[in-house]
């Protein structure tokens, strides 16, 4: 029953990381790191194929006792929500390695591969953990390699960015740890024993105040990671200073850990609070969408532009999540994948340009369409996917999110639509400034077009954009049952809330005049 | 098992075999080194190490046993075995770090190693103490030896200052402790911990004599574990003392002092925990916050680690405040995790120091990752463990402490501790920044010539990872250790009541 395939998926990159450390040759380092990253890629593809889309619960489950004193177990499982994010992770890590080997990273390649592979273990582990403690361990483990990736291989104010990233994230994580322990101790009273097992913790009865505080603890950690406005300030710094591969992983996967955290932990653990918090989170998401888009529009630096666009796009994901209905949630998960692919691709493209010109100032470019047509075409394709052109992946996600949001709150949906328009505006405008018009700088006429390696990095991403845009069914069918299951608790709370509201409206004012007992009482 | 089996055969020295072994070893080292030049002391170090090995085996033989010696003055139980083993490991690691250091710095080998062993005896004695006077004896044996050790680099004014400062404040704190013991005796009529416990769980729960005694004891132990506001000596002494001795003080002295602290408060005074926990609450918050905040601005790594050690004492106090079986076990586990991490970190400091005491600035760690990747990686592991990043030992320790305190309802205290952890992350991370993200710094020593030091650092690193990744056996050990101390006292108290 315990096949060990999930353990292999999570720890194979770590094995690769240790192996890479023992190599001396630079070429061999890149090659073996890449090969090591292909194994989890293959495993995740196998899991995708073997996944039973009728089953809403965890599959390929593994469970072993780890710290029996606290009821902590090494418990891995994969469901429709984590499956696709795991596939995305393995794809992006492999592509990042492939890209970085082509000249983007020249300093200390061994350490770079080491940290990137450790990061993969952390990311996959956090996605697959069914034990809350195990999740926390992986959640923290992925923080450290990213800190090194930014701090060592970044540009400009890299140390400032790296330290800011770590401290922001740690504030959230440590408070989440307190919430986790508190929750488990509360569970102990209900269950009679200590356990960090997620399915058990979903059923813990909590007082309203307790649940509210605990939700806040979790939500803060996740909101920082997302990042939601107003705790997003670490992101532009981290993004713009990180090396290309770091930005790809950061935007592509790590931010999703925040949204994933809401879906997997914050909402199903505290459904009653989540239902009450809907207006707040919808508002924050809408602010994030518009604010991110407006800031993106005003960035002179391409990479910062993409970074702020992430704030905006993640706002959409949050909107879908807090629509708290299947349409919105499926759309949100779909959009997590889309953002990973499209924004990952955008960061790669910006990185490629930077490698050629050592600048990312939009003003430095113009007319690239003529000198590097392959690059320009791929950029166009990626940008259209990011804008949400029908037929490409972005459209499906945004559409589902809008449907879900509309069902929940039409004003939120109306505001969010403006984000879509702004997004199209700033991306198309940027494209125009970079690609069209006359060549204003002579250097731009002579830069070389994409290499074979770079095309090889981009083609799989473009194929995914097209595939996910045209044929979303196999992905959505895998998500749907798990999403429905995740929302079961929320639905109960919604019904309860509506009934309570009903009673207040229906019972209170009608009772008084028509109550004969009261009337007689007042007469006497 | 009959708790009196060892005492019953009237073999009073059997429970103290590990203590005897180390004492004899210390005397042999002292005598053997009489005619030895200061820079040929390595052999003495190995001799001392062998002594510790013998004592370790003897102490290991006592695991799972319970008994008393000298009419209950010494307790042999899981608690004493746990601490004695940890203390012996600490002493052994200190010697591994000292082997090259002592001869390089022309420290008098015979005195150095024998004092180290004598101090170890004092610590072990505190771990096994069954009454207040033995705790005092252990504390003094430990402290006097360490006062001298702190001043071993005779030609260095900083070392002299350290020894004087430590001695004066140490003597002062001893006065408090002794006065406290006298008052407790006056209030309860006994110096035996189990009798005190029985008396306290009976009618006599509130008494001004008792409260004053408690306060005095808190001050005394506060000095020894460097809790704020009794911490003033620590940074100067840590900075001035020879670095392996700094490690020994930061770990060994803390282990010994906390062994006594926990024995008295969590075992002896457990029935009246309500009377001391609020005082300890204030002490813990002050200690954590002051330690962490001041550590942020340090430029000298030994001072930084000194303030970090102060902060960690604060976390341990959080576990003590929980005043439960879980809290006691958490304290023991935390101390174990802290011991390995701290020893390793100081090992790195020793490795980077040159003879003229260059290399103890944080700035000297710049670019270490390119010059000495293994050292830098090990240091990163220790720093991350201090920060509390899973799955390293330091994180598991914090997790254990926090859950114990939360379970007793100390939510605010835990939140304060968590905020502190974030502040702490700042200065630990800054060293990692220097090592991995900045250029320059001092050439590290050639590690290939110092296999003993390499072993100490390597073993610490392995232990730091292992205790974190697979904590179950160490948690069990800590639980058993604390429960045996609690259970023993309770059992004896029950038999006395009859």
pLDDT digits (tens, 9 = 90+) for B455-479: 999 999 999 999 999 999 999 888 8
Element (H, E) at A382: helix A373-387
Least confident of A321-335, A496-510, B316-330, B397-411: A496-510
Rounded to whole angstroms, what are the CA distances from B486 to A178, B83, B116, B263? 28, 15, 30, 9
A151 contacts on B by Cβ (under 8 Å) = 433, 436-437
Q: Which residues does chain A have within 8 Å of residue B405's beta carbon, measured at their own beta carbons?
A: none
Contact (CB<8Å) B388/A171: no
* Cα A29 to Cα B265: distance, rounded to the nearest angstrom: 56
Q: How confident is the model at residue A443 (pLDDT cuts 50, 70, 90)?
A: confident
Query: How many CB contacts within 8 angstroms connect chain A with chain B?
Result: 80
Helix, strand, coil percent content, chain A, rounded in steps of 5: 80, 5, 15
A515 versus B62: the higher-pLDDT residue is: B62
Q: How far is A358 from A369, CA to CA, in rounded Å?
A: 19
Contact between residue B491 and residue B353 where contact means Cβ atoms under 8 Å apart: no
CA A201 to chain centre: 23
The answer to whether A425 and A304 have CB atoms below 8 angstroms apart is no
In this prediction, residues B168-179 reach a mean pLDDT of 90
Residue A165 scores a pLDDT above 90: no
**Do B226 and B295 meet the contact criterion of CB atoms below 8 Å apart?**
no
DSSP helix/strand/coil, A361: strand
Q: Taking the mean position of all CA atoms in its chain, how far away is CA B124?
A: 11
> Which residues of chain A make contact with B399, given a CB cutoff of 8 A?
177, 181
Give this complex's ipTM.
Answer: 0.84
Compare A502 and A480 and report the one with higher pLDDT.
A480
pLDDT tens per residue across span B4-36: 454 444 555 677 889 999 999 999 999 988 777
Reported for A201-210, long-range contacts at CB under 8 A and 24+ positions apart, including other chains, are A201/A132, A201/A269, A202/A268, A202/A269, A202/A489, A204/A269, A206/A270, A208/A272, A208/A273, A210/A182, A210/A186
- Give the three-state DSSP class for A451: coil
Cis upstream peptide for A230 (omega within 30°)? yes
Structure confidence by residue, pLDDT tens digits, A353-367? 888 888 888 888 888
Please give the pLDDT value at position A215.
Answer: 92
- Confidence bin at A25 (pLDDT 50/70/90): confident
pLDDT at residue number B7: 46
**B403, B426, B436 ranked by CB distance to A148: nearest:** B436
pLDDT band at A508 (very low <50, low <70, confident <90, very high): very low
Alpha-carbon distance A264 to nearest alpha carbon in chain B (angstroms): 21
Kindly identify which residue of chain B lies nearest to residue A180, measuring between CA atoms. B403
- Tens of pLDDT along A394-426? 888 888 999 999 888 888 888 888 888 888 888
pLDDT per position as a tens digit, B193-234: 888 888 887 766 667 888 898 899 999 999 988 888 888 888
Among chain B residues, the shortest Cα distance to A164 is held by: B426
* Omega before residue B229 within 30° of 0, cis: yes
If one compares B244 and B1, the residue with the highest pLDDT of the two is: B244
Query: Hey, are the CB atoms on B391 and A141 less than 8 Å from each other?
Result: yes
Q: Which residue has the higher pLDDT, B114 or A510?
A: B114
Task: Please report the pLDDT score of residue A209 as a whole number.
Answer: 87
| Residue A307, helix vs strand vs coil | helix
Closest-CA distance of chain A to residue B103, Å: 34
Percent of chain A residues past pLDDT 90, beyond the cut: 24
Mean pLDDT along residues B49-67: 87
- Average pLDDT value over all residues in chain B: 86
Q: State both tokens at B243.
A: 């670095």
The Cβ-side half-sphere exposure at B228, using a 13 Å CA radius, reads 23
Tens-digit pLDDT profile for residues B69-91: 777 788 888 889 999 999 999 99
DSSP letter (8 states) at residue A60: E
Which residues from A are below 8 Å from B296, CB to CB? Answer: none
* E strand or H helix that includes residue A72: strand A72-78
Q: In the predicted model, what is the mean pLDDT of residues A442-462?
A: 86
Q: What is the pLDDT of residue B12?
A: 59
Interface test with A, best of B381, B437, B478 (most A CBs within 10 A): B437
Mean pLDDT for B339-364 is: 82
**A25-36: burial string, b at 16+ Cβ within 10 Å, e else:** eeeebbebbbeb
pLDDT band at A107 (very low <50, low <70, confident <90, very high): confident
Residue B72: CB partners within 8 Å, gap ≥ 6? Answer: B130, B131, B192, B194, B492
pLDDT at B446: 67
Chain B residues touching chain A at CB-CB below 8 Å: 369-370, 373, 384, 387-391, 395, 399, 402-403, 406-407, 411, 414-415, 418-419, 421-422, 425-426, 429-430, 433, 436-438, 471-472, 475-476, 479
- In whole angstroms, what is the distance from residue A413 CA to residue A431 CA? 27
pLDDT of the residue at A26:
82
Mean pLDDT of all residues in B115-143: 92
Which distant-in-sequence residues (6+ apart) come within 8 Å of B67 by Cβ?
A: B3, B4, B5, B6, B7, B15, B75, B76, B77
Residue that wins the pLDDT comparison between B280 and B487? B280
Half-sphere exposure of A58 (CA within 13 A, CB side): 20
Task: Name the band, by pLDDT with cuts 50, 70 and 90, for residue A218.
Answer: very high
Q: In whole numbers, what is the pLDDT of chain A averaged over residues?
A: 86
Contacts of A175 (CB under 8 A, 6+ apart): A217, A220, A221, B415, B418
Q: What is the mean pLDDT of residues B276-283?
A: 89
Q: Is the pLDDT of residue B123 over 90?
A: yes
Mean pLDDT over residues A475-504, rounded? 83
Say if the Cβ atoms of A152 and B425 lie within 8 Å: no
- Residue A73's H or E segment, with its range, is strand A72-78
Whether A170 and B395 lie within 8 Å, measured CB to CB: no
**Chain A residues within an 8 Å CB radius of B421:** 170, 174
Give the residue on A whose Cα is nearest the Cα of B403. A181
Query: Is pLDDT above 80 for B167?
Result: yes
When pLDDT is averaged across residues B152-176 and rounded to a whole number, the result is 87
Q: What is the pLDDT of residue B497?
A: 39
A197 Rama class: left (phi>0) / alpha (psi -120 to 50) / beta:
beta
pLDDT surpasses 90 at B2: no
pLDDT at A125: 93
Q: How far apart are CA A19 and CA A36, in angstroms?
A: 9
Q: To the nearest whole percent, how much of chain A has pLDDT over 70?
A: 96
CA A396 to chain centre: 17
- Residue indicated by tokens 């483990």: A141
**What distance in Å separates residue B84's CA from the closest CA in chain A?**
24
- The three-state DSSP-derived secondary structure of A157-216 is CHHHHHHHHHHHHHHHHHHHHHHHHHHHHHHHHHHCCCCCEHHHHCCCCCCHHHHHHHHH
- With 70 as the cut, is the pLDDT of residue A512 above it? no
From A307's Cα to the closest Cα of chain B, the distance in A is 23
Nearest to B123 by CA among B144, B138, B106: B138
Pick A140's closest partner by Cβ from B390, B437, B475.
Answer: B390
Do A395 and A384 touch, CB atoms closer than 8 A?
A: no
User: Sign of dihedral through CA atoms A129, A134, A135, A140?
Assistant: negative
pLDDT (0 to 100) of residue A251: 87
Dihedrals φ, ψ of B343, to 5°?
Answer: -60, -45
- Which chain A residues are closer than 8 Å to B428 by Cβ? none
Look at B403 and A184 and tell me if their CB atoms are within 8 Å.
yes
B389-399: average pLDDT: 91
Please answer yes or no on whether B475 and A67 come within 8 Å at the CB atom. yes
pLDDT confidence of residue A516: 42
More confident residue, A118 or A440: A118
How high is the pLDDT of residue A408? 86
């Amino acid at each position: 029953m315990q096949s060990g395939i999930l353990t292999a998926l999570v720890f194979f990159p770590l094995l690769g990381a240790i192996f890479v450390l023992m190599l001396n040759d630079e070429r061999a380092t890149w090659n073996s790191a890449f090969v090591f990253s292909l194994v989890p890629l293959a495993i995740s593809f196998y899991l995708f194929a073997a996944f039973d889309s009728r089953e809403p619960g965890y599959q390929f489950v593994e469970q072993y006792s780890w710290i029996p004193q606290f009821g902590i177990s090494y418990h891995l499982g994969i469901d429709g929500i984590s499956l696709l994010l795991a596939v995305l992770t393995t794809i992006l890590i492999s592509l990042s390695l492939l890209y970085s080997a082509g000249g983007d990273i020249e300093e200390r390649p061994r350490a770079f591969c080491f940290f990137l592979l450790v990061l993969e273990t952390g990311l996959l582990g956090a996605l697959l953990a069914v034990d809350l403690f195990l999740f926390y361990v992986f959640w923290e483990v992925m923080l450290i390699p990213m800190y090194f990736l930014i701090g060592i291989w970044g540009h400009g104010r890299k140390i400032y960015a790296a330290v800011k990233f770590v401290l922001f994230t740690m504030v959230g994580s440590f408070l989440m740890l307190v919430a986790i322990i508190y929750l488990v101790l509360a569970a102990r009273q209900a269950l009679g024993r200590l356990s960090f097992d997620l399915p058990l913790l979903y059923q813990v009865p909590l007082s309203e105040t307790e649940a509210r505080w605990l939700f806040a603890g979790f939500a803060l950690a996740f909101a920082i990671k997302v990042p939601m406005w107003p705790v997003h300030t670490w992101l532009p710094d981290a993004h713009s200073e990180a090396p290309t591969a770091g930005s790809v992983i950061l935007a592509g996967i790590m931010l999703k850990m925040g949204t994933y955290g809401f879906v997997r932990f914050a909402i199903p653990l505290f459904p009653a609070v989540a239902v009450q918090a809907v207006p707040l989170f919808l508002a924050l998401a809408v602010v994030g969408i518009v604010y991110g888009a407006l800031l993106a529009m005003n960035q002179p630096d391409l990479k910062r532009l993409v970074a702020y666009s992430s704030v905006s796009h993640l706002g959409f994901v949050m909107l879908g999540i807090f629509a708290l209905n299947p349409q919105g949630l499926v759309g949100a998960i779909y959009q997590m994948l889309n953002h990973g692919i499209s924004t990952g691709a955008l960061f790669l493209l910006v990185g490629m340009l930077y490698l050629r010109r050592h600048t990312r100032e939009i003003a430095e470019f113009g007319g690239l369409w003529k000198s590097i047509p392959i690059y320009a075409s791929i950029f166009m394709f990626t940008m259209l996917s990011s804008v949400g052109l029908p037929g490409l992946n972005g459209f499906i996600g945004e559409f589902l999110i809008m449907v879900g949001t509309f069902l929940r709150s039409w004003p939120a949906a109306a505001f969010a639509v403006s984000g879509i328009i702004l997004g199209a505006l700033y991306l198309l405008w940027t494209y125009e400034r970079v690609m069209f018009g006359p060549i204003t700088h002579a250097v731009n006429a002579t830069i070389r077009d994409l290499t074979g390696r770079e095309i090889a990095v981009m083609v799989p991403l473009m194929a995914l954009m097209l595939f996910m845009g045209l044929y979303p069914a196999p992905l959505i069918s895998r998500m749907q049952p798990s999403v429905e299951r995740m929302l079961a608790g929320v639905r109960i709370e919604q019904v309860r809330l509506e009934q309570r509201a009903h009673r207040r409206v229906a019972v209170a004012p009608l009772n008084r005049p028509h109550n004969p007992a009261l009337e007689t009482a007042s007469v006497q | 098992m009959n708790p009196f089996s060892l005492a019953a055969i009237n073999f009073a020295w059997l429970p103290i075999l590990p203590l005897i072994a180390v004492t004899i070893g210390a005397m042999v080292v002292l005598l053997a080194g009489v005619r030895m030049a200061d820079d040929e002391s390595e052999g003495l170090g190995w001799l001392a190490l062998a002594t510790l090995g013998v004592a370790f085996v003897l102490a290991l033989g006592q695991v799972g046993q319970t008994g008393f010696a000298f009419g209950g003055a010494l307790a042999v139980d899981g608690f004493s075995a746990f601490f004695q083993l940890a203390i012996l490991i600490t002493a052994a690691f200190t010697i591994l770090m000292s082997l090259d250091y002592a001869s390089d710095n022309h420290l008098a080998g015979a005195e150095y190693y024998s004092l180290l062993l004598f101090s170890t005896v004092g610590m072990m004695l505190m771990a096994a103490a069954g009454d207040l006077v033995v705790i005092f004896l252990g504390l003094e044996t430990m402290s006097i030896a360490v006062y001298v050790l702190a001043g071993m680099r005779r030609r260095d004014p900083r070392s002299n200052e350290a020894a004087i400062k430590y001695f004066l404040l140490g003597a002062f704190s001893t006065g408090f402790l002794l006065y406290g013991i006298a008052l407790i005796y006056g209030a309860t009529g006994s110096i035996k911990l189990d009798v005190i416990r029985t008396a306290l769980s009976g009618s006599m729960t509130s008494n001004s004599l008792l409260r004053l005694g408690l306060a005095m004891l808190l001050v005394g132990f506060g000095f020894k574990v460097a809790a704020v506001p009794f911490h003033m000596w620590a940074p100067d002494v840590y900075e001035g003392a020879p670095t392996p001795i700094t490690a020994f003080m930061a770990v060994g002295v803390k282990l010994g002092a906390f062994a006594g602290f926990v024995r008295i408060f969590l075992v002896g005074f457990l029935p009246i925990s309500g009377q001391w926990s609020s005082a300890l609450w204030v002490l813990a918050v002050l200690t954590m916050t002051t330690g962490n905040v001041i550590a942020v601005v340090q430029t000298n790594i030994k001072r930084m680690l000194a303030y970090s050690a102060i902060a960690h004492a604060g976390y341990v106090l959080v576990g003590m405040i929980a005043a439960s079986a879980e809290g006691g076990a958490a304290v023991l586990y935390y101390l174990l995790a802290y011991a390995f991490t701290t020893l390793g970190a100081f090992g790195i400091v020793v490795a980077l120091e040159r003879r003229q005491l260059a290399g103890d600035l944080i700035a000297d760690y710049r670019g270490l990752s390119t010059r000495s990747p293994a050292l830098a990686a090990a240091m990163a592991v220790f720093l991350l463990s201090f920060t509390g990043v899973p799955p390293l030992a330091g994180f598991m320790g914090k997790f254990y402490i926090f859950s114990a305190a939360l379970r007793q309802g100390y939510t605010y205290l835990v939140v304060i501790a968590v905020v502190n952890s974030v502040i702490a992350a700042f200065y630990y991370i800054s060293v990692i920044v220097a090592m991995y993200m900045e250029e320059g710094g001092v050439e590290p020593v050639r590690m290939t010539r110092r296999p003993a030091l390499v072993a100490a650092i390597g073993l610490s690193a392995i232990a730091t990872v292992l205790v974190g990744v697979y904590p179950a056996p160490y948690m069990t050990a800590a639980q058993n250790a604390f429960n045996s101390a609690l259970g023993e006292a309770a059992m004896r108290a029950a038999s006395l009541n009859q």
